[in-house]
Structure formats: C-alpha cells, structure tokens
Structure 1
Amino acid sequence: MKKNVLNIGIIGYKFMGRAHSNAWQKVDKFFDLPVKPVLKIACGRNEKNLEEFADKWGWEETETDWRKVIERDDIDIIDIALPQHLHHEIAVAAAKNGKHIFCEKPIALEIDQAQEMYEESEANGVVHYLNHNYRRVPAIALAKKMISDELIGEIHHWRCAYQQDWITDPNFPLTWQLQKEYAKAGPHWDLNSHSVDLAHYLVGDIANVMAMTTNFVKERPIASPDGQGNLKAEALSNEKAEVTVEDASLMMVNFKNGAIGSFEGTRFANGRKNKLSFEIYGSKGSLSFNLERMNELEFYSQEDTTSLKGFRTILATEDSHPYIKNWWPPGHIIGYEHTFIHAAADFIKAVHTKGRIEPNFKDGVSILKVLEAGLQSAVERRTIDLH
C-alpha cells in the first residue's frame, strides 16, 4: 500500500532553503496531489540560525549532521538546497540510502561527479530532479508547446542572455560564488547552466561550442564568514584576494538540428538584477521572452496577413496555459516563487507513480558537458566538439 505522506529532509537553509520551503508548504494547497509533503527535518551547520529557519518555515525537527538525516528510515525525500560544491557527496549518499532527490542547480563541479550522481540514482531506483525551475515558468512552458505545435517552424536562431549586476562594485567582497574551488566558474557555470538547460528544452542538443571569458575585477576584499553565501555580504577587512572565476562569458554554438545560437552570462550588467532573456527565430515565426516580465511571451507569425504582422504579447495567465489553472483568474500574474511550487508538484507526482521528471541528473550531465566545453574553448581559443 502506498503512503499518503512523503517526509522531506532539507539540507541548506539560506536563499534556496527559503524558496524550497515555501514550495513544500504551499504545493498541496494549490495542486491536487496523491500524497501530502511533510516538512520533517531541516539540516544546517549553524544550530542557532537553523532553529530560527525551521521555526519560521514550519520544519518539525533540526539536525546539524546531514548523514544522520539521510540515514533516517522515515525520510523519503532529500532536498539539497546548497552550493554546487556540496551536491555530489550528499546526492550519492542519498541515492544509496534509497532517498528521492530534489537538487538545486548547477548539478555539480565536475562531469564525473554529475555522472556518478545520475548512475547511483538510477541504480537505486530513486526519482532525481535537478531544479532548473525556469522550465516551469508558464510562458516558457507555453513556448515549448508552441514549438512542438510547429507554430514557428524550423528553428534557425537561438539568442540568450542572462544578466545580473550584483558584483559591479569592485569593493563587493569575495564570496564563495567568486572562487573556483567552490563555484567551478562564474556566470558561465551558474547562470549559463539555466540558459543551456532552456536551449536543450526548447531547441535541442548542442553539437559544438566556441567561447570567451573575461574578468573586470581581479581582486576583491575577503568576505566575512557570516556573509559567504550572502549577495549583500560585507568585507572582513581591507585585505584582498584573487577572484578565480570569470565575470562574464560569451558562447556561440551549433545545434545538432542545424540551428545556431549564442549565450551571454554576466554579473556586470548594471541595472539588470535578474534578466534572463531569449529569442528564438524560426522559418514560420519567432518567440521572445524576458524573465523580468515573466508572465509575457512575445510571438511573431509569418503567416499573419501583411497588414497585421508584428510581435504580439501573450499574457500567459489563461487557464489553458501550463500550470496557471491552479492559481488565479486570467490576468492575475504569478511570480518567481511559483516556479518552485510547480516543480514540487511535478516531483511529488513522479515519486508517487515511480515515474520520471525532467530535468534530472542525466540532463545535468549534458549541461555540464556544454559548460565544460565552453571553458575549454575560452582557454584554448578554438571550437570544441561535443560527443
């Protein structure tokens, strides 16, 4: 007999811990689910901060040792809401203990780590999900349906940019995101992982890449220990250390289906707080999206009459659009946090049916292969083929 609840253990309690907790709390209130998620235990290193987090977000228990959480028989799901350098060991251990895994992106620091996460999850029959949550923006899900329905025809061009500005101040301190040891790379790894996932989802697999990266600020003040994961971190002192990841990346690709594409990832775009935008140009039409206007999708159809041709704005809030029927009446927009709730709903259904969900760890391996090839291309100054 199947259980009517799924007990969740979350590891990590900062930015993504909050976003994930909000999703687990609300998902069964808006989606009809076959089982109820229970916020069972929260895990983190700072006991005082962890207790405050658990109390605020409704976690029943706390634990400072993630291994103890994973080994508990009453835990069904391990939610990894941590920086990427911590994903691999925890995910492999969770899989070996038969726990279903909900994991933040990017999947890991190295391709072999991601591959092991995938293989162990498959070998132990657990559902594994990689939280590239932007697939679950209703406007992007609508774009996928329009492409599948051949409304823009054969795709020729993909153009994508993910732009932020939180480190443009040279006095912003050296947080873990700016250190290769913990982050692998800068926006090319962090931001472009989202962009490459969307390109795989909407356009197809990538055949080869050519990339360049640069640094605008090569040294930064050392961050205080309490501010290491905080985008509003403060410096520990005037002492500086080397920035070991890039500040910006540009990558051009050929897709296996014949389309060409470009990717920009930067944290030096003043005025852009979290702008992920893409344009897709096809033989019959075009699509354009901007995350800062996430309820809107721009559509151009070559089949419109000459006097009516032009980009039209679709407000993706009609009941017929993916996920929206679970929320508000048409015209009432939704936000960033809803993408996590959509992911939680799909994940719970997959666990209940012993099915699959995408993107998963296999997709994570594919994404890292593209990103790694981009880094290699930037160093070797040549096109890198993917195999």
Structure 2
Amino acid sequence: MSTVDEVGIGMVGTAFMGAAHSQAWRTVGRVFDLPVRPRMVAVCGRDEARTAAAADRLGWSSYETDWRALIARDDVQLVDVCTPGDSHAEIAIAALRAGKHVLCEKPLANTVAEAEAMAAAAREAGTVAMTGFTYRRVPALALMAEMVAAGRIGDVRHVRAAYLQDWLVDPASPLTWRLQAEHAGSGALGDLGAHIVDATRYLTGLEFTAVSALTETFVTERPTGDGGTGAVTVDDTALFLARLSGGAVGTFEATRYATGRKNGLRIELNGTRGTLAFDLERLNELEFHDGTRPQAEAGFTRILVTEPIHPYLSAWWPPGHLLGYEHAFTHQARDLLTAIAAGADDSAARPAHASFDDGLAVQRVLDAVASSAADGTWTTL
C-alpha cells in the first residue's frame, strides 16, 4: 500500500465536464473515507480571464493557461483531462511520461492509432490511467454488473442499448466543436455510442466481434458565430447490429435527433435465466425479471437501488433518498484515488476500471462501426 497521503489534482478543461469533475473532487473527501486525500491544485484553460473565473467558481487553488505548465508542476500528481478529443492523446501521453496518474474523459481518443499510443504509454508509465466512462459508477448499473456476474440472468443472449438526445433537432443550433470531425472525431457515435459500447462490455464481460452499421447526418450546415455557416462533418445518428463473444447479439442506437429525449440511455440484457434493464432517466432503479420463478409469479420486479448494501451507497443517504447524475463522478473519483493508493500494479487496483485498454477496446468498436457504415458491409473486429 502506498504511503502517499495526498494527491494533487491538475485539471485541463473548464466547461461541462470540467464542472462535473470539479464537483466530484470537491465532494469525494467529504463523503468517503479515502486512503489518500485529493487536493485541487490547479485548473487549466486557454483564456486567462475565463480560467481564473472558473478556478474561483469551481474551487481550484490556482490556474494555468498552458497544460504543459500544469503537467510540469511538482504539486500535481494526477492530471484530469476534460478537453475535446483532439487533444486527449497529446496531453495524456505527456502526463504519463512525466510520471503522473491520468483520468481522461471518453471517448479516449479520436482515432484507434491515438488510443493505441495512449494505452501503450499507460502500460509503460506504470501509473494509474482511467478512462472516464462515468456511468459505470451509477449504483444501479454497478449492481446490474454484479447480478450478471453472479449468473442471475444466465448466459446473455441479447443486448439492446440506445442513447437518445435531442439537442440538435433545431437546424438553427450553432456549429460547435462537437460537430467537427477534426475536434470530436465523430458525432453521436463517439459522444453517445461510446457509452453504450462500454456499458455493454462492463455489464456482460463480452467483447464485440463484428458490427453492421449505418450513420446519417441530417443537417449538414449550421450557423457560426460570425454570421456565416459551417459544415457539419460528423454523424448525427449511428445505428448498428453487433455480434458479441459467446454467441450473444446486440442492437445499438445513438442519436442527437430523438425529439423529446434529453438524456435517454437505456440498456436491456436478455439471458437464459432472466432479464435486467436500466434507464438513466430512472437512474436509481433496475428492472429484473427472474425467469426461474414459477409462471404464476412471473413478471418484472422494480429494484430501488438505494440500500446501504448496494454499490457506493453506504456513504450516502437513508434508503429511498435518491442520488443524481453528479454522484457517479464522485464515485469515479473515489475509485481512482483508491487505485492510486493501492498502486497501479496491485491487484487491489481494480477500481481503476475503465483502464486505457478499455478505452482502446471501445475505440476499436467505434472505428469498426464507422468503417461498416462507410462501406455497407459487416466489419469484423
């Protein structure tokens, strides 16, 4: 076990994910009994005025305007990367080579080659490197994974997963970095599809072996801030079939054009002995059908995942008092700090999942989906 009692955090990025991660770093030591304490050393952004304001608002002790300066600081041991995908590889690899631990938002990179380089750097560094697939830390999904591993639904036969949003339905919505391939890599596929691909791997323990996909861009030009328009160079929606190891099959949908759906992630697993289903808009609940029960008693049971015996919940409120979206980030911070304290090579470091190798595995699936959509054939992984 490490003798380090404090980990200095340096975060790159001050927008949506930066705010969510900051909330977690502020909260985690006040909720969980941690083996090491986090210290919010510095946040980094390109615009000095905005970064200074973010540091004050989000609770950081200082700020930098160059991520290289952040990495070089002796008081920073963990670099938290919350930037667009086109900078993930450069920042994360530099941090790993400097001997830092790294938390990098999903998807891990914009290309398989970048993800391979990041995973290789993580293995060589020997520090803890985590991909931020935060939904793994939703207690209901963590319980779902435990139930699958315990054989409660038997062998998985079908996976049905969809992640539906509607924030691009209006064609007048402005062009942002998320709609430009040079920054985001892909559109709904990487932004939303990465989550359901990772959730499938996490929940089932199965790997994707082949995919057949289509993608579509419904609005190809959007307004820019200067009064003109710019090209949308990523997908608006991605749909694909998948074959999984062990003979299971799956259907997957990711879109930012599902009118009325704000953040609708749903995943259902059908097995030989039962079914489990999760809906992010009811994130404290699981649906469970136990196929071994007598026919007269058959049906779905609603499990309210708020008991102290459920994953992560012993630190929170009495049963029935619900948790929200932000709590998963706090759980992620706890697991990362626990892994750092245990040591990157220690078997107790399992909380570091999803590793950079997990992030690479997801990136390979995303690449196969894009390839299949481009040539209209099944793509084998």
TM-score above 0.5, yes or no = yes
1:302 aligns with 291
For the pair 1:59 / 2:60, whether they are aligned, the reply is yes
Where does the alignment leave 5 or more consecutive residues of structure 2 unmatched?
none
Deviates more, 1:211-220 or 1:367-376: 211-220
1:231 aligns with none
2:212 aligns with 210
Structure 2 residue corresponding to 1:262, chosen from 227, 245, 251: 251
C-alpha distance in 2, partners of 1:279/1:122? 33
Where does the alignment leave 5 or more consecutive residues of structure 1 unmatched?
225-235
Structure 2 counterparts to residues 1-387 of structure 1, below 5 A: 2-203=3-204, 204-222=206-224, 224=225, 236-237=226-227, 239-355=228-344, 356=349, 357-386=352-381
Which amino acid in structure 1 is aligned with residue 207 of structure 2? D
Describe the superposition over 1:274-330 as per-residue Cα deviations: whole angstroms up to 9, x where unpaired.
Answer: 111011101110011110110010000111222221111100001111001110000
Describe the superposition over 1:99-118 as per-residue Cα deviations: whole angstroms up to 9, x where unpaired.
Answer: 00011111011111111111
Which amino acid in structure 1 is aligned with residue 23 of structure 2? N
C-alpha distance in 1, partners of 2:377/2:25? 45
TM-score, structure 1 as length reference: 0.95
C-alpha distance in 1, partners of 2:364/2:290? 34
Q: Number of residues paired by the alignment?
A: 373
Instruction: State the secondary structure of the residue aligned to 1:333.
Output: coil
Instruction: State the secondary structure of the residue aligned to 1:272.
Output: coil
Describe the superposition over 1:148-180 as per-residue Cα deviations: whole angstroms up to 9, x where unpaired.
Answer: 111111110000000000000011111111111
- Per the TM alignment, residue 360 of structure 1 is displaced from its structure 2 partner at its CA by 1.2
C-alpha distance in 2, partners of 1:242/1:50? 29
Which amino acid in structure 1 is aligned with residue 27 of structure 2? K
Structure 1 ranges of 4+ moved more than 3 A: none
C-alpha distance in 2, partners of 1:364/1:200? 11
Which amino acid in structure 2 is aligned with residue 210 of structure 1? S
C-alpha distance in 1, partners of 2:241/2:343? 38
- Per the TM alignment, residue 3 of structure 1 is displaced from its structure 2 partner at its CA by 2.4
- Per the TM alignment, residue 121 of structure 1 is displaced from its structure 2 partner at its CA by 1.7
Describe the superposition over 1:332-375 as per-residue Cα deviations: whole angstroms up to 9, x where unpaired.
Answer: 01011000000000000111111341101101110011110000
Identity of aligned residues (%): 44
C-alpha distance in 2, partners of 1:296/1:120? 38
C-alpha distance in 1, partners of 2:123/2:61? 30
Instruction: State the secondary structure of the residue aligned to 1:330.
Output: coil
- Per the TM alignment, residue 219 of structure 1 is displaced from its structure 2 partner at its CA by 1.2
Which amino acid in structure 2 is aligned with residue 385 of structure 1? T
- Per the TM alignment, residue 2 of structure 1 is displaced from its structure 2 partner at its CA by 2.0
